[in-house]
Structures are given as C-alpha cells and as structure tokens.
C-alpha cells in the first residue's frame, strides 16, 4: 500500500474491474427509431467510469497511506464543543446570513439530531440495534395529528400524550423481542417498523390510509397563533407584540421549538446516563451475563431503554406533524430508520456531539445538494464511505466516564 507502484496497480485493477462491470450496465442504450429499437453504444461512459474509478482509487489509497494526525477530542473539549454548538444554535436565527431556507434546513437537521439522541439511548448505550425507530416516530406524529383533530387539544397537551403513547408502544413492542440480540433483534425491529407503517397505510377509517392526515393544527405560543389573521377571538403573535406579521415568525418559532425539544432530550439522556439506570444500560451492552450475575434484571433495563428511546421519537414525531401540517405513512418508511441509525453509528455510538455532526453531514448536506437532484443520494453514499474509511469507529468515538473518582491516588 505504501509505495506508488502498488497503489497504481491496485487502482488499475479497480478501474479495469469497474469498466468490465460498466460495459453491460452503462455501455449500451436502447433508443427508439421510428418503429423499432436500435442499440447505441455509449463506450465513452465506460471510459469515464474507467478514468474516474482509477483516479478515485489512487487518490483514496494515497490518502490512506498518509499518516493523518489523529483528532481524538479529549473529554473536556468535547464538552466545550457541545456548549459552543448549543450557543451557536440559539444564536443562529439572529445572525445576518440566516434566511428562511437556512432556518428551515436547520429545523430539519434538528429533528434528526433529536431522533439521533433518542435512538442513541437504545443503540449507542443499551447496545440494542433497533432498525424500526421510524415506527415510533410515526406513532408520535399520528398520535398528535389524531388527538388534535378528534379532541381539538392544543399542541402543548398533545406533545406529552404523544410521547407517552409512543413510550407505551415501545414497551409493548420491546417486550416480545427482548430475548433477541444483535442481528436478530435488528431484523425483528425492522419488521415492527414496517408493520406500523403498513397498519397506518391500511387502516383507512382512522388514519386516512395513503392520503394521510392534513390540516393538522399548528402550534401556538401561550395561545398566540402564528397566522396572518387571528382565529375566532384569539390573538396572533404579531398582534400581541405589536409588530407587523411575517411568515418568518412561524419558521423561527418552529426552529426554537425543536431546539428546545432537542435540548430537553439531550439533557434528559445525559442525566439518565449518569444515573444507575444509565450505567446499567451500558453494562448491559458490555456484558449481559455479568449483569445478571450482579442481580440486574435485563428485561427491565432493556424495556426502559426502549421506552425512553420511543418517547423521544414520539416528541419528534409530534413536532414533525405540527411542522408539516400534513402527514402520510410515506414519511416513515424504512429509509428513515436507516438514516437515523446511520446518524448514531456515524456519530460514534454513544457520543451526543458526534450525533450533531453526523446529522449535519447526513441530513444537511443532501439538502444543500438538492440542486443535484438524482445525484443527491450519491453524495449521501459518498459521505458514508468517506467516514467509514477514515473514522471507522465514528466521528467522536471516545467514551467519557459517567462518574469519576476525584482523588484516585
């Protein structure tokens, strides 16, 4: 790997292999000519693949040959970085370059940060690979939408109810899968996630099926709405403050709302991690048999992780529903679960700060590359590959102890 000759050989063989594969896949095109079809050779695409893979492989092997300085963050820096990020997030809407689309993207990223933090409890700490997390996200969203429509309850009352409902589902679905570990658990949770989506899709009378639920109530701030004109007897935010109405007010309000929810999730999760329950989660991930021998009932510990993770997804789901104003089962497909798991894994399995960066990379970048249209997912895949090659254990893989003996010597 070290000298350029072997690297050149590796790259050449990779390029030849790619070209062979590209020849039948990309090398020919059917085109309509009058009544028949003719086969057009597109050998230049094969040449492009050959050159691109060759150069790419050479660049990659060269980059790996270089001894990169390790950027392992000490625990303190990681903490400080977290605070800096939180302050930046609070200040973001007031910065001069913050326009509507930026705040909208930041809101989306924060939803995934919150989901990542919730799933981190299950996957990163308790070590239970859950591939059906979007199911709980869906339950939160539908709970809010249905409760708000059927009983006309405000967002602030629905939010805890949706969280509670999701947590209950987390318990109910967690219970039968507790004996499973690793791959088997992943497959079964994936199945549960799909079952939830398919039930939502087919329970036409309750959920509206594929048409989803529309006109979901928007959130209010102490009864103040963020609309241009107040609804029957109420007051709008702009009227109350005596400022002119602007559509940005609602966007900014939603941003602060999800920021508050995300920070609350983070606070709860970090606090729990330092309690006996959190240490038991991590101990369970490390060695379940040792946990049993110390009198820890693994069922309770796993269920608590499942329930708390599901609750966070429920909160995020309510927010998603109220932000979109319209939900369908399409929004909660398996790819959502996969993205959230990818965020947790990329972040470093257990690192709260790592998850923020991972969410920015995995959700933010594709948003900015929206102009690339179909090639957007290529950027997504490329990011995953680059991180896996250069930081195989995640962006921030250092584990900070939950408790420290002050004067050990």
Partner 1 sequence: MTLLTVDNLGITFGGLVALDSLSFTVPKGQITAIIGPNGAGKTTLFNIITGFYQAQTGTITLHRDAGPLVLNGKPDYWIARHAGIARTFQTSRLFPRMTALENLLVAQHNRLMKASFFSLAGLAGLAGFKKAERDAIDKARFWLEQVGLTGSANVPVGSLAYGLQRRLEIARSMCADPALLCLDEPAAGLNPKESLELVDLLALIRSRFGATQLLVEHDMSVVMGLSDKVVVLEYGRKIAEGAPQQIRHDPAVIRAYLGEPPDEDIPVDIAQDLDKC
Between 8 and 298, name the residue whose CB sits nearer to partner 1: 298
Between 50 and 125, name the residue whose CB sits nearer to partner 1: 125
Between 223 and 276, name the residue whose CB sits nearer to partner 1: 276
Between 37 and 275, name the residue whose CB sits nearer to partner 1: 275
Q: How far is the CB of 212 from partner 1 (least distance, A)?
A: 36
**Closest listed residue to residue 126, CA positions, set 337, 386, 301:** 301
Q: Could you list the residues that contact partner 1 (CB under 8 A)?
A: 268, 271-272, 275-277, 279-280, 282-283, 286-287, 289-298, 399, 401-405, 408-409
**Residue with structure tokens 């379940």?**
288
CA angle 376–121–314, rounded 5-degree value: 70
Structure tokens given for 228? 């241009």
Between 392 and 401, name the residue whose CB sits nearer to partner 1: 401
Q: Which helix (H) or strand (E) holds 223?
A: none
Q: How far is CA 316 from CA 113, 271, 324, in A?
A: 10, 19, 12
Rg (the chain; Cα; Å): 25
Strand partners, 336: none
Between 293 and 373, name the residue whose CB sits nearer to partner 1: 293
Q: How far is the CB of 177 from partner 1 (least distance, A)?
A: 19
Between 125 and 320, name the residue whose CB sits nearer to partner 1: 125
**Can you tell me the distance from the alpha carbon of 118 to that of 352, in angstroms, rounded to the nearest whole number?**
10
**Closest listed residue to residue 306, CA positions, set 165, 137, 173, 131:** 173
For the residues of 85-136, what is the DSSP string, one character each? HHHHHHHGGGSTT--HHHHHHHHHHHHHHHHHHHHHIIIIIS----S-HHHH
Q: How far is the CB of 391 from partner 1 (least distance, A)?
A: 18
Q: How far is the CB of 287 from partner 1 (least distance, A)?
A: 5
**Can you tell me the distance from the alpha carbon of 181 to that of 359, in angstroms, rounded to the nearest whole number?**
26
Q: How far is the CB of 267 from partner 1 (least distance, A)?
A: 10
Coil, strand or helix: which one is 2?
coil
Q: How far is the CB of 118 from partner 1 (least distance, A)?
A: 16
Q: How far is the CB of 157 from partner 1 (least distance, A)?
A: 22
For the residues of 267-293, what is the DSSP string, one character each? HHHHHHHTSHHHHHHHHHHH-HHHHHH
């Amino acid at each position: 790997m070290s000298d350029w000759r072997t690297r050149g050989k590796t790259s050449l063989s990779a390029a030849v292999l790619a070209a062979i594969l590209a020849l039948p896949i990309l090398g020919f095109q059917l085109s309509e000519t009058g009544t028949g079809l003719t086969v057009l050779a597109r050998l230049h695409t094969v040449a492009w693949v050959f050159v691109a893979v060759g150069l790419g492989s050479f660049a990659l092997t060269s980059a790996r040959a270089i001894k990169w300085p390790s950027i392992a963050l000490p625990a303190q820096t990681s903490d400080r970085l977290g605070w800096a990020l939180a302050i930046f997030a609070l200040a973001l809407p007031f910065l001069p370059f913050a326009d509507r689309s930026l705040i909208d993207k930041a809101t989306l990223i924060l939803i995934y940060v919150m989901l990542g933090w919730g799933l981190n409890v299950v996957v990163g700490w308790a070590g239970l690979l859950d591939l059906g997390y979007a199911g709980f996200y869906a339950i939160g969203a539908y709970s809010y939408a249905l409760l708000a429509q059927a009983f006309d309850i405000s967002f602030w009352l629905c939010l805890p109810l949706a969280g509670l409902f999701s947590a209950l589902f987390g318990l109910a679905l967690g219970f039968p899968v507790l004996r499973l570990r690793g791959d088997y658990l992943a497959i079964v949770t994936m199945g549960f996630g799909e079952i939830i989506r398919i039930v939502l899709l087919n329970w036409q009378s309750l959920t509206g099926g594929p048409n989803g639920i529309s006109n979901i109530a928007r959130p209010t701030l102490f009864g103040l709405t963020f609309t241009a004109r107040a609804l029957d007897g109420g007051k709008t935010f702009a009227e109350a403050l005596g400022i002119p109405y602007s559509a940005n007010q609602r966007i900014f309000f939603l941003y602060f709302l999800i920021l508050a929810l995300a920070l609350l999730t983070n606070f709860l999760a970090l606090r729990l991690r330092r309690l006996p329950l959190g240490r038991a989660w991590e101990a369970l991930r490390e060695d379940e048999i040792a946990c049993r021998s110390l009198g820890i009932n693994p069922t309770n510990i796993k269920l608590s992780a499942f329930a708390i993770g599901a609750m966070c997804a429920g909160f995020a789901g309510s927010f998603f529903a109220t932000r979109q104003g319209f939900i369908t089962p399409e929004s909660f497909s398996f790819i959502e679960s996969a993205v959230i798991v990818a965020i947790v894994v990329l972040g470093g399995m257990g690192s709260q700060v790592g998850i923020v960066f991972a969410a920015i990379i995995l959700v933010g970048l594709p948003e900015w590359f929206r102009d690339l249209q179909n090639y957007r997912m290529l950027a997504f895949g490329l990011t995953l590959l680059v991180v896996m090659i250069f930081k195989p254990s995640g962006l921030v893989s250092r584990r900070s102890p939950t408790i420290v003996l002050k004067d050990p010597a």
